[in-house]
């Protein structure tokens, strides 16, 4: 078992890494809170428990660049001081940036922070691994802070029209791919001082990304049609976009066509392949209580009465929806949200399910956690 702590655990990259490592059996997570940097005793207690520390905590935006530099250097110094005080040498994986080589104080803070850690390692025998990371995007990013993609998603979902100021090509990595890179660095016994440039996985023009996001708004949000998700980048971008849709967007009612023969309801229209299935559930029984990290999934109630619940893992807020077959409706399951469905009626519940990839027992992408 490897005991791993993550500074910046509550931030965009840190929370994704924390959640991802939580799916790995050989990892024991050591909790970190922002307040630890404000207490010598707390930060020392934290470092004393860790075999590996992923140092992600950093400031990357402020009106005064000097504040960014001073803050980031201070965080590194506090980490080193705590280790020195206890004479402990956990392996430290330092999150750096491709901006190291640029002429700005954020990049300089990353470069100088890495050098401070490497100097400490040279004196103590500790292991330091630096990951030089390209532009990162993914669900739950903070608009106007983490990435332009987060900003675009927020603006489009809010009914705004984003503008492109510089339509250059951007090298990108999806957050799930980055967390895997961190995991491999955690479990690898490499040399004492190691720097790895994390390869970007896609290169896109800003306008190309904006066009895809606007298409998701018109096809998915306005018409319920799931995009073509066969391309890994577009699946990642779609899951990023849907994470910004407010939870009161669901449930979505189907259009019900009736005549003297009965009724007809179109359950699913998608520009991608997938797997369709259905279940019957007796009154009082709950199905599910699991989450996915990449799959797009739709629950459609066509008969009976159901309660669908969602909760983002490692948070407390539960979102609840009531659906009835008399007014057919659907709810789509966001990634990283554990979800379930309960028959709360007096009759058998019939639910149709669609998911964008067939179930694979070797790679199920299904993790069981109670809502």
Q: What is the pLDDT of residues 120-146, one digit of tens each?
A: 999 999 999 999 999 999 999 999 999
Q: What is the pLDDT of residues 213-265, one digit of tens each?
A: 999 999 999 999 999 999 999 999 999 999 999 999 999 999 988 889 988 88
Structural domains in the chain, sorted by start: 2-140+165-201 (3.40.50.720), 248-368 (2.60.120.10)
Q: What is the pLDDT of residues 286-337, one digit of tens each?
A: 999 999 999 999 999 999 999 999 999 999 999 999 999 999 999 999 999 9
Statement: residue 212 has pLDDT above 80: yes
pLDDT value, residue 115: 95
Q: What is the DSSP letter of 108?
A: H
Q: How confident is the model at residue 371 (pLDDT cuts 50, 70, 90)?
A: very high
Lay out the sheet containing 367-368: strands in order across.
Answer: 319-324, 305-312, 337-343, 286-291, 367-368
pLDDT value, residue 109: 95
Report the alpha-carbon distance of residue 165 to residue 201 in Å, rounded.
24
3-state SS, one letter per residue, for 188-252: CCCCCEEEEECCCCEEEEHHHHHHHHHHHHHHHHCCCCECCCCCHHHHHHHHHHHCCCCHHHCCE
When pLDDT is averaged across residues 74-102 and rounded to a whole number, the result is 94
The length of the chain is 371
Statement: residue 102 has pLDDT above 90: no
pLDDT value, residue 63: 86
Write the CA distances from 136 to 90, 152, 190, 229, 263, integer angstroms.
Answer: 26, 14, 25, 20, 47
pLDDT value, residue 163: 92
Name the residue among 177, 239, 164 with its Cα closest to residue 208. 164
Name the residue among 135, 165, 169, 159 with its Cα closest to residue 149. 135
Report the alpha-carbon distance of residue 58 to residue 69 in Å, rounded.
9
| Rounded (5°) CA angle 62-67-69 | 105
Q: How confident is the model at residue 148 (pLDDT cuts 50, 70, 90)?
A: very high
pLDDT value, residue 303: 96
Report the alpha-carbon distance of residue 55 to residue 52 in Å, rounded.
9
Statement: residue 191 has pLDDT above 80: no
pLDDT value, residue 60: 86
What percentage of the chain exceeds 70 in pLDDT? 100
Report the alpha-carbon distance of residue 71 to residue 226 in Å, rounded.
43
pLDDT value, residue 200: 97
Report the alpha-carbon distance of residue 47 to residue 80 in Å, rounded.
10
Q: For residue 100, what are its two tokens?
A: 């190291």
Strand partners, 1: none
Tell me if the bond preceding 251 is cis, omega within 30° of 0.
Answer: yes
pLDDT value, residue 61: 82
pLDDT value, residue 225: 95
Q: What is the pLDDT of residues 9-67, one digit of tens each?
A: 999 999 999 999 999 999 999 999 999 999 999 999 999 999 999 999 999 888 888 99
């Amino acid at each position: 078992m490897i005991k791993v702590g993550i500074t910046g655990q509550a931030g965009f990259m840190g929370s994704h890494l924390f959640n991802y490592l939580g799916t790995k059996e050989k990892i024991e997570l050591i909790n970190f809170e922002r307040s630890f940097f404000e207490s010598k005793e707390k930060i020392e207690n934290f470092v004393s428990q860790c075999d590996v520390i992923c140092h992600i905590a950093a400031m990357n935006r402020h009106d005064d660049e000097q504040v960014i530099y001073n803050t980031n250097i201070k965080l590194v110094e506090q980490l080193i001081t705590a280790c020195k005080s206890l004479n402990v040498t956990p392996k430290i994986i330092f999150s750096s940036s491709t901006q190291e080589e640029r002429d700005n104080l954020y990049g300089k803070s990353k470069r100088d922070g890495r050098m401070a850690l490497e100097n400490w390692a040279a004196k103590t025998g500790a292991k330091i691994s630096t990951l030089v990371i390209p532009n990162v995007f993914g669900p739950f990013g903070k608009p106007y802070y983490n990435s332009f993609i987060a900003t675009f998603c927020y603006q489009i979902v809010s009914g705004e029209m984003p503008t492109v100021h510089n339509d250059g090509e951007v090298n990108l990595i999806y957050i799930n791919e980055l967390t895997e890179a961190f995991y491999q660095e955690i479990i690898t016994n490499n040399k004492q001082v190691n720097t790895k440039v994390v390869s970007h996985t896609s290169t896109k023009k800003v306008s190309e990304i904006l066009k895809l996001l606007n298409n998701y708004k018109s096809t998915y949000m306005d018409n319920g049609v799931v995009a073509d998700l066969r391309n890994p980048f577009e699946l990642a971008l779609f899951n990023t976009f849907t994470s910004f849709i407010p939870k009161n967007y669901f449930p979505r009612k189907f259009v019900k066509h009736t005549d003297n023969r009965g009724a007809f309801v179109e359950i699913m229209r998608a520009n991608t392949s997938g797997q369709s299935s259905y279940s019957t559930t007796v009154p009082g029984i709950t199905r599910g209580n699991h989450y996915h990290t990449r799959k797009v999934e739709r629950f459609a109630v066509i008969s009976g009465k159901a309660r669908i619940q969602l909760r983002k893992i490692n948070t407390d807020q539960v979102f609840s929806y009531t659906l009835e077959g008399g007014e057919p409706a659907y709810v789509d399951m966001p990634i990283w949200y554990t979800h379930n469905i309960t028959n709360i009626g007096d009759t058998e519940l019939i639910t149709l399910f669609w998911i964008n990839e067939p179930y694979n027992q070797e790679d199920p992408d299904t993790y069981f956690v109670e809502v």
